Amino acid sequence: MSPPPKFKDSPVEFDQHLLFPTNVFDLLPKDHDCFIYESIFQNINTSEVEKKYHHLGQHAYPPKLIVAILIYAYSHGVFSSREIERRCRQDLAFMYISQMNCPNFRVLGDFRKDNLSFFHDCFKQSVKLAIELKMASLGHISLDGSKFKANSSKHKAMSYGRLKAKEAELSAEVDELIKKASQCDQEEDDAYKATNGYSIPEDLQFKEERLKKIKEAKKALEEREKALNPDKPIDDKKQISFADHDARMMSKKGYCEYSYNAQITVDSDNQIIVGQHVSQHANDVQEVEPALRALSGATDGAAVDKWSMDNGYFSGSNLHTVERHEIDAYIATDKAEKPAADDLESSDRKFVKADFAYDSEADVFICPAGEKLVTNPASKSKRKSYRANKTVCRECPYRRNCSDSKKEAGRVIRTDKFEKARQAMNKKMETAGAKAIYERRKVIAEPPFGQIKESGFRGFSLRSKEKVSAEFSLVCTAHNIKKFVKAASTRSIRLEDLKEAKKAA
């Protein structure tokens, strides 16, 4: 005896002829991508989501069907649940993917919000499928980041200083309104033996609700900053959005808005995204460690040959991470790490950090004139300062090239405890082999972001870092599946390979 059903049946057998002279989907071109997408969607494992359903009650749409609709929609630049519903009613390709079903926009939206962990799993499935299909080898991967707008407005936000002031102001107003309300009630009880005075309680209710939101936003900002900058006091200028507490103000091309910093690790073979995560940091100086964890989770810890990154990742913490994990990394150094010219006495030539040789054993920098810059060993600061002798600097023939400061003649070089790793990467990136490997980075990591944004995805529909991370997993899954579809349409892979890869997985 078969177990009772859990899910709705399709209203019709979606591949029958429906009393028409021909199948309605014969109207689509034979090489339409929806046929390939449908074959790929059959390989998605949705058992994790299906466990949540029960055979009692109203039958639900099969999770595999909803996932197929969402991925196909995101692959074709449709992100609104209402627009997806409309396409399922009017677009023949969407009707084929949905098997003539038309889930309500609330069903689509709720599924997207209620199955966050599954979308991460769905992305991992796409990565494993790419590896099985030999579309990703992890021979050379590249990391890149890009900012995407949060579902929030900068006009519905408040700074930490303003939050503290507003909290004190509203607390005082609420106390005063409570006092007035009590006094008014007592006076009316004495005069009319009945309680009235609705205007004050209504105002009091509004103020209390406003105060509650202020306190929640203030607490969320404090928790966020404690997690991101645990050793720093909170600047009064730090802002938080009332709509999305996790989003942060980030600058992009001179324009600031609430955003998230999305990071992707891309394989060089076919631009398959093999790792991804969403960060609240506006820059990339701390992103290698979380990127490495995301990559390991998606690939089950598979070994990587080479890993290239742009100059934004050239930081002490990132260099320490790749060194600790023994990764063959290629990270572009910044201008201060490269000598500008060979002519030391050129009038317009300014010395940069790279002009000062670093002696790791003695822990000193040596200037072009041969003088040592030493650090204070008793300093507890995270950044170390190496200073030259003021008297020697005043008489140095290279002084005009070295320092513009009139108050302090001695040159200062500031760095951190990872200077040895910086110097090693500087030396490595000067070799011809490293330059040739790094040159490929721009055609590995940058195109996927361009393709994602060109499809229309410029900002997130969901709010909070947890939900945004799941939505970005969906976006990356859609990107990878588009690569599978392109490969199948050009005969680089066969649809039969998908079934074999699924069995192997």
Task: Specify the higher pLDDT residue, 342 or 159.
Answer: 159
Q: Is residue 1 part of a domain?
A: no
CA distances from 314 to 335, 358, 426, 462, 467 (A): 11, 18, 10, 31, 29
The confidence score (pLDDT) of residue 188 equals 62
The confidence score (pLDDT) of residue 404 equals 65
Half-sphere exposure of 77 (CA within 13 A, CB side): 7
SS3 464: coil
E strand or H helix at 274: strand 273-279
Domain count, the chain: 4
Among 25-34, 164-173, 342-351, the minimum mean pLDDT is found in 342-351
**Alpha-carbon gap, residue 33 to 486, rounded angstroms:** 9
E strand or H helix at 435: helix 432-439
Are 84 and 134 in the same domain?
yes
407-464 pLDDT tens trace: 666 788 888 888 888 888 988 998 999 999 999 999 999 999 999 999 999 999 999 9
Q: Is residue 490 part of a domain?
A: yes
Are 235 and 362 in the same domain?
no
User: Does residue 364 register a pLDDT over 70?
Assistant: yes
Are 131 and 58 in the same domain?
yes
224-238 pLDDT tens trace: 888 888 878 888 888
Amino acid (one-letter) located at 190: D
pTM of the model: 0.84
User: Does residue 23 register a pLDDT over 90?
Assistant: no
Are 314 and 345 in the same domain?
no
Which tokens go with 48? 């994790």
Q: Report DSSP state, residue 193.
A: S
Looking at the chain, the whole-number percentage of residues with pLDDT higher than 70 is: 88
Range of the domain at 474: 24-140+463-504
Are 167 and 207 in the same domain?
yes
User: Does residue 149 register a pLDDT over 90?
Assistant: yes
8 A C-beta contact, residue 342 and residue 351 = no
Are 38 and 120 in the same domain?
yes
Stretch 308-316: mean pLDDT, rounded? Answer: 93
**Alpha-carbon gap, residue 216 to 227, rounded angstroms:** 17
**Alpha-carbon gap, residue 320 to 417, rounded angstroms:** 10
User: Does residue 8 register a pLDDT over 90?
Assistant: no
Q: Is residue 290 part of a domain?
A: yes
What is the overall mean pLDDT for the chain? 86
Are 428 and 286 in the same domain?
yes
**Alpha-carbon gap, residue 189 to 205, rounded angstroms:** 21
For 322-385, the DSSP string reads HHHTT--EEE---GGGS---S-TT-TT----GGGSEEETTTTEEE-TTS-EEEE-TT---SSEE
Are 169 and 202 in the same domain?
yes
